[in-house]
Amino acid sequence: MNWLLVFTGGMVGAVARYLTDRAVGARRGTAFPWGMFTVNVTGCALAGVLTGAVVADAAPDGVRLFLGTGLCGALTTYSTFSWETLRLAESGARRLAAANALGGVAAGLAATYAGVALAGTVWG
């Protein structure tokens, strides 16, 4: 039964990633991959909240599997993040590539920390 929670969360996360990437990309229309940046930071924040809830024993295993392993696992994507950074660098946009790499990691860490802090105030 656990596999079904991961599978369903993964389906939701993958579709959310695709739709968000397309929607943000259509609005921004720049060379910078704002869509993937958005989904990765959002996924980090959600993972942070979930981590805080797990630490506080406020999230049962089913929630952890559905949201953490399934949804966050499919929503965020290190491979696309890496590919888009490489694509920027190879096209000559080295500053954008550096901004994507450094900004993505920094924003992801900050979002995760904020999520854990939020969970601590809710379930602490």
* pLDDT tens digits, 14-50: 999 999 999 999 998 889 999 999 999 999 999 999 9
Q: Can you give the pLDDT at residue 29?
A: 82
CA dihedral 20→17→22→24, nearest 10 degrees, is 40
CA 50 – CA 71 distance, rounded (Å): 11
Domain count within the chain: 1
Determine the Cα–Cα distance for residues 6 and 16; give it in Å rounded to an integer: 15
Task: Report pLDDT for 7.
Answer: 98
pTM value?
A: 0.93
**Mean pLDDT, the chain, integer:** 96
Q: State which residues form the domain around 106.
A: 2-123
Whole-Å CA distances, 52 to 30, 62, 82: 35, 16, 27
Reported as a single tens digit per residue, the pLDDT across 59-74 is 999 999 999 999 999 9
pLDDT at 91 over 90: yes
The 10s digit of each residue's pLDDT in 12-21 is 999 999 999 9
